[in-house]
Amino acid sequence: MTAPLLDAEPQPIRSVSYGGGVQSTALLVLAAQRKIDFPLFVFANVGNDSERAATLRYVDEYAKPYAAKHGIELVEVHRVMQRTGEKRTLWQDLTQPGLRSLRIPVRMSNGAPGNRSCTAIYKIKQVGREMKRRGATAENPATIGIGISVDEIHRANNRTVEPHERIVYPLLDLGLRRTDCARIIRKAGLPVPPKSSCFFCPFHRPETWHDMRRTEPEEFEKACHLEDLLNERRDELGKDHVYLTRFGRPLREAIPDGIDLLPIFDEADGACDSGWCMT
C-alpha cells in the first residue's frame, strides 16, 4: 500500500516591492533575465488620484506586459478598508473633511519635515498584507527586494513593520548605480520610466517641482490646491501653516513659473529614506 504523501513545506516567497521607477524596473528586467531570483513583483498603488500619472501609465503600458511576457507575476495592491471593502487613497485621506493629522511629511514653518505615515500605511503594510495572504509567516518570512542602488545606499536600512518579511537590496549586491539601471532598461528595449512618487510628495527636489510646473501643470496646480486646503484646515485649528517645499512659502511662490534652472540641492533633501517609495 502506498504511504500517504506528507504536506510539502511551503516555498519561501521572493518578491520585489515595485514602485514603477528606474531602480525597481531594472530589477524587473534582471528578474526576467533570470539574473536575480524574484518571480513576484508587487506594486502598492497609493491611489490613481495620488500616484504620478506618468508612473501609472508606465506600469500599465510597459511594466505589466513585459512581466507577463517573461513569466513574472506583477500584481497591483491597494489599501482596502476592512469594514467596507472599499479602496482608500492617500488623496482621499488628505482631503477628507475634519482632517486634524497629516500623513505626509509636509514641511513645517522652519523647513523641517513633519512626521509621516504614508509610506507605512500605503506601501509597507499593503505589500505585507499581500505576503501574508500568500502564506508568509514569522517562521517562514517572505524575502522582499527593495530597489535601492549604490548611489543611494544611505537610504538602505533593515527596518520593517512586518515580522513576516526579510528585506534585501539586490542592486547593492550587484554593485549597480542608477545610471546602470537606466542602461539595463534601455538594453531590454524598454523606455526608462519617470521617477515614481506621489505627485504632491514634500520630498520632491526643487528641480522636480520645476519640471512638473513646466511639463505637468495640471498635477502641479493640484498639488498647490492641496497645500491651500491643508492650510485652510490648519487655520481653523489655529495651527501654523505647512508647505510642500522647505522654503516656508506657498508652492506657487516657491517654484515660480518661467525659470529655466534652479540650484541643485543635496540628494538627501529630496528622497524618502525607506526605499519603499521613489524607486
C-alpha cell at 264: 541643485
| Residues 121-170 pLDDT 10s | 999 999 999 999 999 999 999 999 999 999 999 888 766 567 899 999 99
- The burial of 169, by beta-carbon neighbours within 10 Å (0-12 exposed, 13-18 middle, 19 or more buried), is given as buried
Model confidence pLDDT, tens digit, residues 70-88: 999 999 999 999 888 899 9
Q: Left if phi > 0, otherwise alpha if psi is -120 to 50, otherwise beta: which for 64?
A: alpha
Question: May I ask the CATH architecture of the domain 14-196?
Answer: 3-Layer(aba) Sandwich (3.40)
pTM above 0.85, yes or no: yes
Alpha-carbon distance of 168 to 87, in angstroms, equals: 29
pLDDT one-digit tens code per residue, 191-249? 999 989 999 999 999 999 999 999 999 999 999 999 999 999 999 888 999 999 999 99
Counts of helices then strands in the chain (DSSP H, E)? 11, 5
Angle at which helices 178-187 and 22-32 pack, to 10 degrees? 50
